[in-house]
Amino acid sequence: MAQIDLTQKLVQQLTVIYQDVEAVSDYEGLAQRLLTEMRTAESFKVPEPFANHWSEKDVVMITYGDSVQSEGEKPLQTLQRFMTTFTDDTINSVHILPFFPYSSDDGFSVIDYSSVNDGLGDWQDISDIASERKLMADLVINHCSSRSAWFQNFIKGEGKGHDYFFTASLSDDLSKVVRPRTSPLLRPTETANGLQQVWCTFSHDQVDLDFRNPEVLVTFVSIIRQYLDAGVRIFRLDAVAFLWKIPGGPCINLPHTHEVIRLLRSLIEHTVSDALIITETNIPNSQNLTYFGNANEAHAIYNFSLPPLLVNALITGSCQYLKRWLMSMPPSQNGTFYFNFIASHDGIGLRPAEGLLSEQEIYTLVNTMQERGGRVSWRTGEQGEQKPYEINIALFDALQGTVDGEDSKGLERYLCAHAVMLGLEGVPGIYIHSLIGTRNDYDKIKHTGQNRSINRHNWQFNELEAVLSNKFNEHHKVLSRLKALITIRIKQAAFHPNAVQFVLHLGSKLFGFWRQSLDRKQSIFCVSNVSNEEVPLRLSELNLVINNQWWDLISDNEIADISAELPLKPYQTVWLSNKI
């Protein structure tokens, strides 16, 4: 009976997706094909509604498959060795960025979804990593490589993929299409069926798929099943906001896109109950929040507004914008969570700051990051103007100073940023180059000609092992102090991703919030001095329960007098917890 209910649910979802597509009418037959591709019957289980398949122990390291290399060893095996050596006791999950054969964009232009890039390793290496920790993988679902067999068949007009791609007419009104890039939207392509204008949201090597063709959906469901078999348990839907297009409008965040995500969730969670979907939607905050649906769409969304707002707070010494944003954020329902990060393989996205930072604040942020050696990537605005899209910079360099210039407090400022992130509601993700304090890689920019390469350094394992073993080296200091914070975090019930969170009002220099465990036994007051001067924290303003013992988890100091003032050094964070 439950499997019949799932089939009926899929039929309803397919009806919503394809109701305007005349060529699709047999929704029940299509639903059965999807269930067959997913092999749902083999492990069918009705998912528990609003279940949290995560806890305070979950911390994700984000990395490329070849971020750490060793001569004579497959990079995925070297990565496994790095994690076993340096993170096993603290980080239980890993997001390996696209590990498939690709033609550009460091993996996000996939040639073959069914293969592992042989320059990295093979499926056995992926499964070995998945057997040791939770594995997140990218489902690059909006587009694929122009060098893929699918697109070559599109050009030939025959074979699998010949009808997989979205085309438009030069007479279509494309003036309202939202673009993350400045390149022309349409790519003229000679095919066996004549000249076609292929839709390219990102680049002309990244050709957009046409989900109006249900064969595209069926193919991606089969890909999901293959990844599940390899041990993938978290699916990152890359650039999914652009999935469905209707010329004449913005072609982003369309209802069909949301329904496709809901359908994929239905299939995945009825097949492997603890497998998750996270949507990568680098868009304004209010739009990003819609991808939770009613706890029936993405299990998690990226907290894209956090990086620009947190960096802004730390370079200006004022948390007013960060605090205002956090106050506006709804708590995640059970069954969903925020994915928090402050650095990534791309950069500090600026679209998620739109409407949260003024245009002047954004340009101050951009200018300050350029002074720290950063680069800027641009997009085309609605009126055809060039607007900053993201800042490309290594986070360690980004926080080596303020709007007033570089100073000596970079390490403490950097640790403060991570202490804030680690305390917030949600699951933290830490980019490997943030974990070890990698600096701007200007040589790689020269080699690739791409701004994003500045934060995509490739380490040699022996070199990295040497610097991480030297207690006087800044990379060792970063890793050891971040691991100390993570070690504390993963032991606190009040840091459960869905534990209660309230923003504290402590002025512009002290950023604070209160967390309470789901069983209400533990409270943690997280307070960070985001300025470069000492600021007193008046403990009386926190309303600490008088008959409890209070402790700063970070310094391991007891709070003897809860009515006193606690001086916070520049960029110092305290996690004040009751003894339980």
pLDDT of residue 580: 78
**Which residues define the annotated binding site for substrate?**
105, 143, 236-238, 345-346, 452
Distance of CA 187 to the CA centre of its chain: 29
The pTM (predicted TM-score) of the whole model is 0.96
Task: Check the CA dihedral 492-490-279-503 and report its sign.
Answer: positive
Residue numbers of the domain that contains 535: 500-578
From CA 478, how far away is CA 468, in angstroms rounded? 9
Cα four-point dihedral sign 552, 557, 558, 563: negative
Q: Cα separation of 137 and 151, whole Å? A: 23
Annotated binding site: 105, 143, 236-238, 345-346, 452
The pLDDT, as a whole number, for residue 425 is 98
Least-confidence region, from 70-79, 121-130, 378-387 = 378-387
Quick one: residue 335, left, alpha or beta (phi over 0 = left, psi -120 to 50 = alpha)? left
Marked catalytic residue, from 66, 125, 210, 238: 238
The average pLDDT across 486-498 equals 98
Is residue 379 very low, low, confident or very high in pLDDT (cuts 50, 70, 90)?
Answer: confident
Q: How confident is the model at residue 260 (pLDDT cuts 50, 70, 90)?
A: very high
Question: In what helix (H) or strand (E) does residue 259 lie, and over which residues does it extend?
Answer: helix 255-271
pLDDT of residue 154: 98
The CA distance from 126 to 68, in Å, is: 15
In a domain, 536, yes or no: yes
Annotated active-site residue 163? The verdict is no
Average pLDDT over residues 23-52: 94
For residue 529, the cross-strand partners are 510
State the pLDDT at residue 542. 93
Q: Is residue 559 part of a domain?
A: yes
Question: Is the pLDDT confidence value at 337 over 60?
Answer: yes
pLDDT above 90 (res 216) = yes
Q: Residue 179's pLDDT band (boundaries 50, 70, 90)? A: confident
Query: Distance between CA atoms of 364 and 258, rounded to whole angstroms?
Result: 35
Exposed e or buried b per residue across 345-369, where buried means at least 16 C-beta atoms within 10 angstroms of its C-beta: bbbbbbbbbbebbeeebbebbbebb
- Say which CATH number the domain at 522 has: 2.60.40.1180
Share of the chain above pLDDT 70, in %: 100
Share of residues in the chain with pLDDT > 90 (%): 92
pLDDT at 182 (0 to 100): 85
DSSP 357: B
In order, the DSSP letters of 105-159 are GGGTSBS-TTS--TTT--HHHHHHHHHHSEEEEEEE-SEEETTSHHHHHHHHT-S
pLDDT for residue 137 is more than 90: yes
Q: Read off the pLDDT of residues 436-489 as tens digits, 9 standing for 90 and up.
A: 999 999 999 999 999 999 999 999 999 999 999 999 999 999 999 999 999 999
Confirm whether 545 is domain-assigned: yes
Q: Are 192 and 90 in contact (CB under 8 A)?
A: no
Q: Give the total number of structural domains in the chain.
A: 1
Is-contact 125 118, C-beta < 8 A? no
DSSP secondary structure string, 41-105? GGS--PPPTT-----TT--EEEE-TTSEEBTTB-HHHHHHHHHHHHTTTT--EEEE---S-BSSG
Give the per-residue pLDDT at 196: 98
Task: State the pLDDT at residue 500.
Answer: 98
Q: CA dist 250 to 179, 242, 355, Å? A: 9, 9, 18
